[in-house]
Structure 1
Amino acid sequence: MDELITVPSRSGPRWLSPTLIERLTIVVDVLLILMCGIGSAVIYHLYTHAALGKIDTYAAASLLVAINFGLLTTVQRGYRLKNITNLPRSFRTTVMTWTGLFGALLAIAFTMKVSDEFSRGTTISFYLVGLIVLLAWKATAGRWTARALATGALANSRAVLIAEFGLPAASNTMMDLAQHGYRLMRIMEIRPTDLASPLLLSTIAPRFDELIAYARENRIEHIFLLMNWSRQHAIDSILDALKILPVPVHLVPDTHAARFLRYPLQSTGNTFTAELRRAPLSWKERALKRTLDLAGTTLALIVFAPVMLVTAILIKATSKGPVFFRQTRNGFNGRAFKIFKFRTMRVLEDGPTIRQAQKNDPRVTAIGKWLRKTSIDELPQLFNVLKGDMSLVGPRPHAVAHDSEYEQIIGNYAFRHHVKPGITGWAQVNGYRGETRTLELMEKRVEYDLSYINNWSLWLDVKIVLGTVIVSFARPTAY
């Protein structure tokens, strides 16, 4: 069972590589956006005015849109092969980025008073045509890339795998290598008893000589080691035997290490560590997040001021009690604060025992049902954001009584307090909004909250805000 195994495999042209595919995708995105922008301007002006108009202005604007779209998609790793082939994710990224980019650029144009330079018809045409063309291109590129990966067309770098007996069949290593540019030419499996032997090199010397000769003859470019990381003597011995070959040697993480290496790697002097749990946001990240909070809250208060005024009048006119409901919640680092909401119930509970609102809850007022379904009752929390107690985006703050309960039964629950609580959050846009009837629902909400904290970025906040608008109207679950 210790023989060298030659692996039959197919490969595409030597010039075709994963890196080239990723770069070509960026270039095609930019060119398509330029063509859509200029084409929309030309066709719209010829149709409405029988003249070309300021095509140079539209060309410059299209180039600006194309560059920003490429940069934003790159930041979201949208051009990685695994994301190109993941069509649902690719479509979401494209729609969110394209829409957010147009909204931001239109706001900037309006602020700088240059919006009059652009025809509204051309702008709308550019947005719609560009989005349709991009989605069609993403679908085509995704299916072609998936087919190329499946057939090994991108596996062009010749490689050899040296593995502990049985591990290649039990891992995804071979498939991953084949799908990301490496063509496995041979596999050398070594029995566990040989790997544990202090005389490893002398035991398998003839096989190593044959492997080295094969590597030279077939111009092998990479060697991968797949074995338990605890076998340090075996790994050192194999490296010593391979030093005669001028090729890189890669140690593939074993099943135990791979689970932890998915986390970000951090440098601590000369040592690298896997950051299994990140610290609260740095001061730069907090400043960036606070800037978004203040800008977004100011805009929201201007937009929703009439809605809030009408809501206050309706609450006062339809039921007895105050307009606002205040309740103690735990914020950043567990510090208590008073949260503001429009009153939707006939009771004002705030203490050690609080019952969550349920479907057809008799405590909810007639107007309160509508306010809770549309999330309008949450709008006064914009004042909490201005005060600094909350953020636009973050884990939803629960009543103190519920915090005390869940901290005892859900691991890592308290980690939610590593950032400011938010008006909306990652859990809410993923469907975990409203009543948590079972422990499993709360555990799932906490899982999304922790994922948000560990993967925070400014773009993720923007994505959640946009997603909240859609979810609030398309999938209302609060009552």
Structure 2
Amino acid sequence: MRPIVAERIVICVDIALVIVSAIGCAVGYHLATASAVGKVAIYAAASTLVAINFALLITVQDGYRLKTITNLPRTFRMTLATWTGVFGALLAVAFTMKVSNEFSRASTISFYLVGLSVLLIWKAVAARWTSHALRTGAFANSRAIMIAEFGLPASSHAMIDIAQHGYRLMRIMEIRSKELASPLLLSTMAPRLDELIAYARENRIEHVFLLMNWSRQHAIDSILDALKILPIPVHLVPDVHAARFLRYPLQSTGNIWTAELRRAPLSWKERTLKRIFDLAGASLALIVFAPVMLATAVLIKLTSKGPVFFRQTRNGFNGAAFKIFKFRTMRVLEDGPTIRQAEKNDPRVTRTGKWLRKTSIDELPQLFNVLKGDMSLVGPRPHAAAHNTEYERIIGNYAFRHHVKPGITGWAQVNGYRGEISAIELMQKRVELDIWYINNWAVRLDLKILLLTVVTSLRDPNAY
């Protein structure tokens, strides 16, 4: 079986289990209370929406990759957080659109509990089945051989992926570094290469992998020349030096390909596309979260003295200053050349503010900044102007973050870098992730980050 087939089977079973759980809970409840089947079609439609959203959210978290499926603790956490997040979001939408009265509370709660239980049981079964399949090489259907520099197969991470995910390594021929460096490689290795070619023919080998330092151009060319008699593809596995650069987007530059290590700021077409996405997303979010924002404003007024909103100077695109909007969570309104970051158990934070910061509800007014054009839904998080000045002196590429508009959420935040910055290393890592986002921007990446934000805010609330 091919790995992609196994991954799609898991997706289909997830969707099927969610829909069956919803219909089963609805039918069971109505039979028990009214001795009638009830509105099965409505529950079927709603459960389909839940199932699709759940599957999409798991997909953007790489939850259907074989490595993730076999990591049961991570899969359980992801399933619980995503299932709860999807339910909460769709219930909020149903309440806002006044369709929640179409669903029984008892059947909805039972659907949440039964659906979650069934999914967790299935995830445990899938993890065990997948682990066994990987161990036995069930996904390695293509026969392959490898020619490698001596010692590299034992230390190469690529070996694990090749062996487990689609290719059955039938034989590995290792060549010593001294022999690879020799200009007489073909003549000295001719008997071994002839034997390997004969083996490939007899055993119907479908692929050849070369694992060696890319600087050994003479050796690679010589081995390719010797293997040209075989009508099968030859793959050059990235060495440890090239592998880290091949994570970047590959661009065609004339007749050559380059790894784009740092891209130019977004073009006007990309900025227009991102702006349309921001306007549509922010408008929809304001409609959905209007009741939450109204309730929050009332709660702030009732529980502490001061304004509902807090405004502070931040730097946006090209370093331009703007005033960011947030719900007030502190007893102070700091802005200027000296600002102290919020810390754990910070006495300046109000009781209501502590909850708002944990749930990130305090960030919702920034939707108005998005509509104004100061911010984007997704981008590097803007820091206070005072902190910007400090970090620009310490971190060399910090200013590169201003090549795009700042965002309500970002790639760094969904990768665990949100909340207090207790060490400069944390900011350096955040900047590194922000630059990766700028270099790899696409609308689908923005969508992925927004979906992950919902999940991570529920799973890892570490903002103070």
TM-score, scaled relative to structure 1: 0.81
Please give the alpha-carbon distance, in whole angstroms, between the structure 2 residues aligned to 1:236 and 1:368: 68
Equivalent residue for 2:330?
344
SS at match of 2:208: strand
Residue aligning to 2:137: 152
2:226 aligned partner, one-letter code: A
Q: Per the alignment, in what secondary structure is the counterpart of residue 260 of structure 1? A: coil
Contact 2:85/2:458, CA 8 A, preserved across alignment: no
Within a 5 Å distance, the mapping from 1:1-400 to structure 2 comes to 16-67=1-52, 69-102=54-87, 117-268=102-253, 270-277=255-262, 282-283=270-271, 284-312=273-301, 315-316=304-305, 325-341=310-326, 342=328, 344-345=330-331, 348-351=334-337, 353-356=338-341, 364=348, 368=350, 371=353, 374-375=356-357, 380-400=365-385
CA separation in 1, counterparts of 2:435 and 2:73?
23
Tell me if the contact between 1:384 and 1:390 (Cα under 8 Å) persists in the aligned partners: yes
* Larger CA Rg, structure 1 vs 2: 1
Structure 2 portions without partners, runs of 5+:
none
Partner AA of 2:247 in structure 1: R
**What is the distance in 2 between the residues matched to 1:95 and 1:294?**
29
- 1:295 is aligned with what amino acid? L
CA deviation profile, 1:218-265 (whole Å, cap 9, x unmatched): 111211111111222222222222122122211111111111112333
Distance 1:157 1:448 in 2: 36
Q: Distance in 1 between matches of 2:356 and 2:101?
A: 35
Contact 1:428-1:468 within 8 A present in 2 as well: no
Is the 8 Å Cα contact of residues 93 and 288 (structure 2) preserved in structure 1? no
The one-letter amino acid paired with 1:337 is: F
Task: Give distance in 1, aligned partners of 2:92 and 2:423.
Answer: 43
Aligned residues with identical type, % of pairs: 67
Q: In the alignment, residue 196 of structure 2 is paired with which amino acid?
A: L
- State the secondary structure of the residue aligned to 1:398: coil
CA shift, 1:296, in A, is 1.7
2 CA distance for matches of 1:358 and 1:370?
Answer: 16
SS of the residue 1:155 aligns to:
coil
Amino acid in structure 1 at the alignment position of 2:243: A
Distance in 1 (alpha carbons) for counterparts of 2:299 and 2:178:
78
Q: Would the alpha carbon gap of residues 278 and 47 (structure 1) be closer, same or farther in structure 2, given more than 3 Å must change?
A: farther
1:314 Cα deviation after fit:
5.5
Give me the whole-angstrom Cα distance separating, in 1, the residues matched to 2:294 and 2:97.
Answer: 25
- Letter aligned with residue 272 of structure 1: W
> How much does 1:217 deviate?
0.9
Query: 445, 449, 457: which is aligned to 1:460?
Result: 449
Task: Map Cα deviations across residues 416-458 of structure 1 (whole Å, 9 max, x no partner).
Answer: 3233334455555666555434323433443454455557331
Structure 1 stretches lacking a partner, 5+ long: 1-15
- TM-score, normalised via structure 2 length: 0.83
Give distance in 2, aligned partners of 1:79 and 1:18.
Answer: 10
Question: Counterparts of 1:83 and 1:465 in 2: how far apart (Å)?
Answer: 19
CA distance in structure 2 between the aligned counterparts of 1:176 and 1:457, rounded to whole angstroms: 29
* Structure 2 CA distance for partners of 1:469 and 1:224, relative to 1, 3 Å: closer
Residue 337 (structure 1) shift: 0.8
- Do the aligned residues in 1 keep the contact of 2:82 with 2:455 (CA within 8 Å)? no
